[in-house]
Each structure stands twice: as structure tokens, then as C-alpha cells.
Amino acid sequence: KVVAVIMVGGPTKGTRFRPLSFNTPKPLFPLAGQPMVHHPISACKRIPNLAQIFLIGFYEEREFALYVSSISNELKVPVRYLKEDKPHGSAGGLYYFRDMIMEDSPSHIFLLNCDVCCNFPLPDMLEAHRRYGGMGTMLVIKVSAESANQFGELIADPITKELLHYTEKPETFVSDLINCGVYVFTPEIFTAIEGVSTHREDTANLRHVSSFEAFHSLTRNLPKDFVRLDQDILSPLAGKKQLYTYETMDFWEQIKTPGISLKCSALYLAQFRLTSPHLLAGGDGTKSATVIGDVYVHPSAKVHPTAKIGPNVSISANVRVGAGVRLICCIVLDDVEIQENAVIINSIVGWKSSLGKWARVQASAVMQFSLLYSLGSFGADGDYNAKLGITILGEAVTVEDEIVVINSIVLPNKTLNVSVQEEIIL
Ligand code: GDD
């Protein structure tokens, strides 16, 4: 048997995702119309002999209750949310729930960060992992040398694929091969994590100061049950024939900011085109509005037949789209109302917001996303906002008739009755 664990973090972790993480936990923010965490969960479904999926985090249980029960029914695999009383770190959280994770005596445990966007080649990783015969195998990808320092940089043996060296977010360049935050382990991982806590307790009891200790003081002062997978496990175990790498040649992004979520939404919509085209709009779902490229429309949304939407548009539940509206590259969240002839380009529109007639909500560069995308203007190097600009409306923002909002971030519950550009409206 195999189990999968998805680390979802908690309310203190998603702060860069504001203003969209005020009321909705970041893992439940929709990408291509599905909660962020839904994408790794549905990828787990392809693992042979999958017994259970655990989400581990320190959000309140009730925030995940509804999603977890509906996805369990849909996938016919038990999905459980396990709440930590406090953050234990990416490996500590796993260890904290070891008894539950080991309930079915799994031979392998997948561990996935919830804030990465990729095609999760899990069955292939498992096969490679069995071949390598180590304790763990991690998904890795080559990125541009300039962006590598935002991630764990590593060196792998070109032939055996063994992890030879690992440094988390190094200050000086190590390698353009980085950690994707997707792993498969044997149950020995628990022994390794236990080893870190025990060692930390021992060194904390030895109170003599040496330069070596001063160097390690940061680590030593962490609580003994707080264990980071990268610094505390991957770094020390590199080069010991226990960890191996599996390189993906497909897409991969880290989802830290709202801006990048527009790009990830596009990547997942494009994947739906291949894997589940029935989820994409075209014909009945949109009640004959003009659809261009990959578009998701929730069945409860009402889109006027004269509206024109796409590419890369995702429309959530109960959204109303009026006559003559134009939507390009945007995420429109639940209960939004868009009145006649309004335009939204390169933007995220928060829950319950409303746009008046002829209103425009857009980024500064009004270039078609698909065009920029095909020109390769986006690498795995992150700052989508800087390259293209984006407008984000928080929850319940009102944009009055004919108002233009360009490249701005508007916090929840604001009413805009004058046009704004390059502003943050608090
Ligand atoms: N449950 C729980 N408890 N989850 C946690 C905790 C915790 O105490 N701390 C972090 N996480 C979750 C986060 O929500 C995220 O999904 C994952 O664990 C990793 O988070 P961080 O430890 O903050 O690392 P990071 O996201 O900055 O970088 C990691 O992922 C990158 C890939 O996205 C590192 O492993 C990098 O090396 C890697 O490149």
C-alpha cells in the first residue's frame, strides 16, 4: 500500500498571498476552477494501491471539512485533514502524525508541498524510486541560474541520480537544479526525523560555546519537535546513498503570490485540455457565449451569450457575466457580478465583488496572455507581477460604472468611484 501526505501549512504561512488569503486558506484558492490542493490530490489518484491521502496543516479543521468530505466521495479514496496544534516544520508535521500515516502499514509515503504547480508525475517517481533503492526520491527541475536561489539547490550524480549535495536557498550559486517539493519516501524517513530531534536535544544540553556551535546555533535553538525537511534531513543525508532525484522536463511553478496563480491557472487549464476536456467550457456550459482558448466556467455561473471570454479565464460559482463583457486571462471568484460591457484583463476579482457597466479592470500591459506565453516571457523565475502587471480586487470590492482600474491592488470592501493606476488601495 501507498499513502500520500500533502503539507498545507497554516494561516501564518500564506501572507504573501494577501489580499486573497484573508478569508480563504491559500490551499483552497481556485486554480483552473479547482482548489489549489485539488490538483495534487487528483494526481495522487493515479498512484497504484493508494490507501489514503492526508492533508497536514495548522488551519482550523472546519476550513477544510467541507472540501475533504466532498473530495473523498468524488475520488473514492479517504482524504483526511490532520491539524497540528502548532507548526512543526515540513518534516516535523509528518512525524507528528506518524501513527496515523502508518495505520495501513504503507510501503511508501508520498510527501507533497501544496503550493507547487506541476503535473505531479507520481507513478513515474515511484518506479524510479524502487529502481534506485534509497530511502527517498525527490522531484527536481532545471530553472534559470538567476532564479535558483529562491529554492533548494542541489547536485545530483548524472548517472546514478543520487543526491550528492543539497543547500536550501543558498546565498551563493550552487546549481540550477532545484527541489520541486514533491517526494516519495520509505517509512525509514520517520527514523531519520526522529534522529534530528534526538540530536538537537543532545546538543542543546551541551552548553560549551565554540565557533562550530555558534554557526549551528540557529538550528540548535529550534524546538526539538520542529524539523525542516530541507535543512535538517535533505542536506545532511545528501551523498549517503539514501536520497535520489527524479528530474521533470514538464512545467513546474511555485505558487507564492497571487500574480503567479494566474499563470498556474493557465497551466492547469492547458492540462485539462489533455486530461479532462469535459471540465473546459465550450457550448452548453457557457450558454453559447464566445469562448476562446482554455476557459473554465462553474455550472452555476450565468454568462450572457454576447460575452466573449478567454483565453485563460476561470469563472467560479454564481458569477453573473452581463452582455458584451470581455474577459481575458483572469480568475473571477464566487458571487461576482460583472455588468454590461465591462472588461477584465490580467486580473483576479475577489468574491462578491461587482463591476459596473463599461468598467475596466486590467494590468498595464494589455497584451494577450497567450501571446506573451508563447513568446516565452515567463520562466520558472517567479515575478509574474513585475513582468506583466496584474490587478487584484479583494473580497467585496465595488468598481462603479465606467471606472478604470489599472495595475492596482484593492483591499476588501472598497468602493472605487474614481479611476486608479499603479495604486494599492487600503
Ligand atoms: N503542516 C505544516 N506545518 N506544513 C508546513 C509547515 C508546518 O510547520 N511548514 C511548512 N509547511 C508546508 C508549506 O505550506 C509548504 O507547502 C511546504 O510545507 C514547504 O514550505 P516551506 O518549508 O516554507 O518551504 P518553501 O516553500 O519556502 O520551500 C520549499 O519548497 C520549495 C519548492 O516549492 C523547499 O523545500 C525548497 O527547497 C523547494 O524548492
- Cβ of 181 closer than 6 Å to ligand 1, yes or no, is yes
Closest C-alpha residue for ligand 1 atom 5 = 9
Q: Quick one: which atom of ligand 1 is closest to the CA of 180?
A: 32
**ipTM score of the complex?**
0.99
- Cβ of 9 closer than 6 Å to ligand 1, yes or no, is yes
> Phi first, then psi: what are they for 272, rounded to 5°?
-60, -35
pLDDT digit string (tens) for the chain, length 426 residues? 999 999 999 988 767 888 888 889 999 999 999 999 999 999 999 999 999 999 999 999 999 999 999 999 999 999 999 999 999 999 999 999 999 999 999 999 999 999 999 999 999 999 999 999 999 999 999 999 999 999 999 999 999 999 999 999 999 999 999 999 999 999 999 999 998 878 777 666 655 555 555 455 455 567 888 999 999 999 999 999 999 999 999 999 999 988 899 999 999 999 999 888 888 987 555 457 999 999 999 999 999 999 999 999 999 999 999 999 999 999 999 999 999 999 999 999 999 999 999 999 999 755 545 445 544 444 433 444 444 589 999 999 999 999 999 999 999 999 999 999 998 988
- Cβ of 57 closer than 6 Å to ligand 1, yes or no, is yes
DSSP string, 242-280: SEEEEE--S-EEE--SHHHHHHHHHHHHHHHHHH-GGGS
Instruction: Record the cell numbers describing residue 268, joined without a space.
Output: 492547469
- Cβ of 89 closer than 6 Å to ligand 1, yes or no, is yes
Peptide bond into 236 cis (omega under 30): no
> Phi first, then psi: what are they for 308, rounded to 5°?
-130, 120
* Ligand 1 pocket, mutate which of 5, 6, 7, 143 (most atoms under 8 A from CB): 7
- Cβ of 167 closer than 6 Å to ligand 1, yes or no, is no
Closest C-alpha residue for ligand 1 atom 27 = 151
| Residue (of 340, 365, 366, 356) closest to 393 by Cα position | 356
Give pLDDT, residue 287: 56
Q: Quick one: which atom of ligand 1 is closest to the CA of 152?
A: 37
Q: Quick one: which atom of ligand 1 is closest to the CA of 87?
A: 8
Strands (E), 88-133: 108-113, 116-118
Give pLDDT, residue 381: 39
- Cβ of 27 closer than 6 Å to ligand 1, yes or no, is no
Give pLDDT, residue 17: 86
- Cβ of 174 closer than 6 Å to ligand 1, yes or no, is no
Q: Are strands 177-185 and 108-113 parallel, antiparallel or unpaired?
A: antiparallel
- Cβ of 134 closer than 6 Å to ligand 1, yes or no, is no
> Phi first, then psi: what are they for 172, rounded to 5°?
-110, 145
User: Which secondary structure element, helix H or strand E, spans residue 297, and what is its range?
Assistant: strand 295-297
Q: Quick one: which atom of ligand 1 is closest to the CA of 168?
A: 37
Question: Distance from the CA of 113 to the center of ligand 1, in angstroms?
Answer: 6
This prediction's pTM: 0.91
Distance CA 34, CA 42 (A): 10
- Cβ of 423 closer than 6 Å to ligand 1, yes or no, is no
Question: Distance from the CA of 114 to the center of ligand 1, in angstroms?
Answer: 8
